[in-house]
Amino acid sequence: MLFVDSLAVIGIATISLGTIQETDGAQERTFWLRNAGDESVVLLQGYTSCVCTTIVFDKDANISPGDSTAVTLHFNPRGKGGDFEEVGTLLYGSEMRKKQGKKPHHIQFALTGRCITGEETLMRQFPVHINDNLRLSTDRFDLGVMRVGETKERNVVVLHKNKNNSQERIPIHFTVDADKKKGIQHIAYPIIVDGTEVSILLDVLIK
């Protein structure tokens, strides 16, 4: 006789939190699972796709055929911004599967949505103040040791506070030309942001 050990999500396996504010704090949702198989299963282990999310379930619980159990995902949006998808994975198995030396089954469920980053976090992520509307992730890079002809690339991220806190990535390409003076150099690299010229300082040891 063929026995089947299988958990199934009751309802939907992906729950949308919609648009949330980082300052609103942790969010949680509960998923219900049903043993849709012929054999009892044991809940073994759970893990998530990010440390910002934890999974809570009745570890080592024995779920009989037809019975249900609850699993909760807790999502902490601190330091988050933009779209997110946090996935929880639950491993489970049966005695028969264990005797056969087979790996546990797994089932997944997720929380999705969009997080609006709080002002405090934005100030930490973009500490360089240009004006009331513009902030930068940094205005200085240490490029380390470079030789003539060598190129390095870095990225400055710009926060546009007057454009709904949108972000823009500006690449910086620096090449050591043959006429560059050797030794430790502090080079001002100009970028244009919304019509404003900003100097990014590049620290480099030219050999």
Tokens standing for 142? 């240490």
* 201 vs 207: CA distance, rounded Å: 19
CATH architecture of 120-206: Sandwich (2.60)
Residue 120 confidence (pLDDT) above 90: no
Per-residue pLDDT tens digits for 89-117: 999 988 777 777 788 899 999 999 999 99
Quick check: do 7-117 and 120-206 share a fold? yes
Q: Where are the domains of the chain?
A: 7-117, 120-206
Per-residue pLDDT tens digits for 130-180: 999 999 999 999 999 999 999 999 999 999 988 888 899 999 999 999 888
Q: Taking residues 178-189, report their average pLDDT.
A: 90
- The fold of 7-117 is Immunoglobulin-like (2.60.40)
Burial of 126 (0-12, 13-18, 19+ CB in 10 A): buried
* 57 vs 92: CA distance, rounded Å: 12
Q: State the greatest distance between any 2 C-alpha atoms of the chain, in Å, as a whole number.
A: 82
Residue 181 confidence (pLDDT) above 90: no
Instruction: Using DSSP, state whether 93 is helix, strand or coil.
Output: strand
**What's the mean pLDDT when you consider all of the chain?**
91
The label of the residue with tokens 């001002």 reads 188
What DSSP string runs through 98-110?
A: HHTTPPPEEEEEE
* 31 vs 109: CA distance, rounded Å: 8
